[in-house]
A and B are shown apart, each in its own frame.
Chain A
Amino acid sequence: MNLLFTSIEQGLVFGIMAIGVYITFKVLDFPDLTVDGSFPLGAAVASIMIFNGGNPFLALILSAMAGMIAGYITGLLNTRAKISGLLAGILTMTALYSINLRVMGQANVTLLNTKTIFTYIEALGIPYRWGLILAFVIAAAVVKILLDSFLKTQIGFALRATGNNPDMARSLGVNTDAMKTLGLSMSNGLVALSGGLVAQYQGFADIGMGIGTVVAGLASVIIGEMIIGERSVGLATFSALLGSFIYRLSIGIALRLGFATTDLKLLTTVLVIIALSTPRIRSLLRIASS
């Protein structure tokens, strides 16, 4: 029961990150590695603000904004400086390592006895555990619904066409460079928001907490897609959330089976490799072909 609860909580809060990864990898067809840096960036910004007595909700907004800037920079590196997408993400991610350390001032920040969003929710008389779930459900639902709606607008169509067929998009007046930069900003904004929530959830931020974010996000997107598919945009974002839940549940089970926490990245990577190298699944996913 506890495993289930934890998986739901984690599935939702990391699911926001997975939706971010969905935007770049699937909608934009852009293999963005910035997320390994923007996830801890969000955590760093939120935790340092809360540590110093700031409002935890405002902290989340700033987390998201910091992440958007990070994504924007990767976008500029790619579209203006003409650096390949993969390298642009690695450059931003590497720079963020230093920036995150600067933001936190040390390698980790602990949020004991500080006011997080969960303190506020508990003050409403909701039991802590339910408060967590409530907050995450609301956050994930808002993100999902807003993104689904956005992807159905004229700009949303332009964004999807940019990832799907950039030649066609340009021939219909879409500034594909601008769309890429927009998508990268949105994606990293969500990833950093997720980072800010995770920091408050686990009670600390750590400089190393971003390692493997991309792979975990990708694993979630892949799992979700294998189960549900992407017949429509709404189903695709839902499947990222569901995939995130199943991924966290599998990790929980792996831990119970006696794997060490440190083995999990290897396990996840193997899972993603198997999924991507199986031709049938690969054609189903149309991912990582570039």
Chain B
Amino acid sequence: MLKLKKVTKVFNKGTINENVVLRDINLDINDGDFVSIIGSNGAGKSTLLNVIAGVFPVDDGSIILDDQDITRLPEYERAKFIGRVFQDPMMGTAPSMTIEENLSMACCRTITRGLRWGLNEKNRKEFKIKLAELGLGLENRMNTKVELLSGGQRQAITLLIATMVKPKLLLLDEHTAALDPSTVRLINDLTEEIVLQKGITTLMITHNMEYAIKMGNRLIMMDRGQVVLDIKGADKALLTVDELVNMFENAANKKFDDDRIMLGLRN
């Protein structure tokens, strides 16, 4: 469903700072896959998602989504099929717009915006139900500006916006990294619930090994611009954190040096 063919991304090409961040990446993601992506700092994980979302162009290779070559499509057009949640809770919402106004932005990801009212009786009702499902009490604060909400509340809303109209692909870039541990659990539970319930094909970057193993049906490890591990199905289900670290050290032929990695000590 998503195919990356020999995707290469070079920053500062032709300068002394030239940096090959993605090196001939081939990836074949199946419909309904929920993939967790791990790897050390600077491995190119965010760049991979950014390239898929069209934030910047690739230097080589092509990106195919559902048989459509989207390699040259601008970001705002790819947004028709791709939902995103970023690491920074500030990034996914418009702070001085209200909760309901933010949610209403979701509708038009797939359609052309017009001079119809952004909010009406019908979508307000729908938003209220969806917000109530989050269990954060936000359904009674639909007129509150988002800037007054906590990081976790914002991430929950961003997740709702990104998945309200089912995207072909959901890209999560460390979307719980800026949250406190109990909120992390909340947002991860929510993510799992939405993704599984709607069957959304998802790529999720995380530095938490335990969640990486627990969530999703496939695990990819990146190192220096390449995919060094790709574990699926039953293999993934039986994986432990120790095994994963070992596998990484063999595959990448170096010590596991991610200072931000969380080995997922239980509770």
Cα–Cα distance between A165 and B90 once the two chains are bound (Å): 9
Choose, from B26-34, B77-85, B235-243, B254-262, the stretch at the interface.
B77-85
Contact of A157 among B82, B96, B118 (CB under 8 A): B118
Decide: B84 and A171 in contact? CB cutoff 8 A.
Answer: yes
Decide: A153 and B91 in contact? CB cutoff 8 A.
Answer: no
Say yes or no: A170-B79 contact (C-beta < 8 A), given A160-B97, A164-B94, A165-B93.
Answer: yes
1/0 per residue, CB under 8 A from A, across B84-124: the answer is 10100011111111000100111111100111111100000
Does B37 count as interface, using CB distance less than 8 angstroms? no
Decide: B161 and A172 in contact? CB cutoff 8 A.
Answer: yes
Does B24 count as interface, using CB distance less than 8 angstroms? no
* Chain B interface bracket (under 10, 10 to 19, 20 to 34, 35 or more): 20 to 34
Does A122 count as interface, using CB distance less than 8 angstroms? no
Decide: A168 and B92 in contact? CB cutoff 8 A.
Answer: yes
Does B53 count as interface, using CB distance less than 8 angstroms? yes
Residues from chain B with Cβ under 8 Å of A153 in the complex: 113-118
- For the complex formed, measure the closest distance between the CB of B101 and the CB atoms of chain A, giving whole angstroms: 6
The interface residues of chain B, by DSSP majority, are classed as: loop
Contact of A167 among B91, B97, B118 (CB under 8 A): B91
Decide: A165 and B77 in contact? CB cutoff 8 A.
Answer: no
Decide: B115 and A169 in contact? CB cutoff 8 A.
Answer: no
Chain A CB within 10 Å — which of B86, B90, B110, B113 has the most? Answer: B113
Decide: A169 and B108 in contact? CB cutoff 8 A.
Answer: no
Cα–Cα distance between A251 and B115 once the two chains are bound (Å): 39
- For the complex formed, measure the closest distance between the CB of B14 and the CB atoms of chain A, giving whole angstroms: 20
Decide: A173 and B110 in contact? CB cutoff 8 A.
Answer: yes
Decide: A154 and B75 in contact? CB cutoff 8 A.
Answer: no
The chain B residue sitting closest to A286, CB to CB, is B96
- For the complex formed, measure the closest distance between the CB of A44 and the CB atoms of chain B, giving whole angstroms: 31
Chain B CB within 10 Å — which of A150, A170, A174 has the most? Answer: A170
The chain A residue sitting closest to B143, CB to CB, is A232
Cα–Cα distance between A228 and B144 once the two chains are bound (Å): 18
Cα–Cα distance between A170 and B77 once the two chains are bound (Å): 9
* Chain A interface bracket (under 10, 10 to 19, 20 to 34, 35 or more): 20 to 34
Decide: B104 and A157 in contact? CB cutoff 8 A.
Answer: yes
Residues from chain B with Cβ under 8 Å of A277 in the complex: none
Decide: A165 and B114 in contact? CB cutoff 8 A.
Answer: no
Decide: A157 and B101 in contact? CB cutoff 8 A.
Answer: yes
- For the complex formed, measure the closest distance between the CB of B200 and the CB atoms of chain A, giving whole angstroms: 16
Residues from chain A with Cβ under 8 Å of B101 in the complex: 157, 160
1/0 per residue, CB under 8 A from B, across A165-197: the answer is 101111111111000000000000000000000
Does B11 count as interface, using CB distance less than 8 angstroms? no
Does B76 count as interface, using CB distance less than 8 angstroms? yes
Say yes or no: A172-B116 contact (C-beta < 8 A), given A161-B97, A167-B91.
Answer: no
Decide: A158 and B96 in contact? CB cutoff 8 A.
Answer: no
Does A129 count as interface, using CB distance less than 8 angstroms? no
Cα–Cα distance between A287 and B79 once the two chains are bound (Å): 29
Decide: A169 and B94 in contact? CB cutoff 8 A.
Answer: yes
- For the complex formed, measure the closest distance between the CB of B218 and the CB atoms of chain A, giving whole angstroms: 24
Can you report 28 residue pairs joining A to B where beta carbons are below 8 Å apart? Answer: A152-B118, A153-B117, A154-B107, A154-B116, A157-B97, A157-B104, A158-B105, A158-B113, A160-B97, A161-B94, A161-B97, A164-B94, A164-B95, A165-B90, A165-B95, A168-B91, A168-B105, A170-B79, A171-B53, A171-B82, A171-B84, A173-B79, A173-B109, A173-B110, A174-B113, A175-B74, A176-B76, A286-B96
Please give the residue numbers on chain A whose beta carbons come within 8 Å of chain B beta carbons, in ascending order. Answer: 150, 152-158, 160-161, 164-165, 167-176, 230, 286
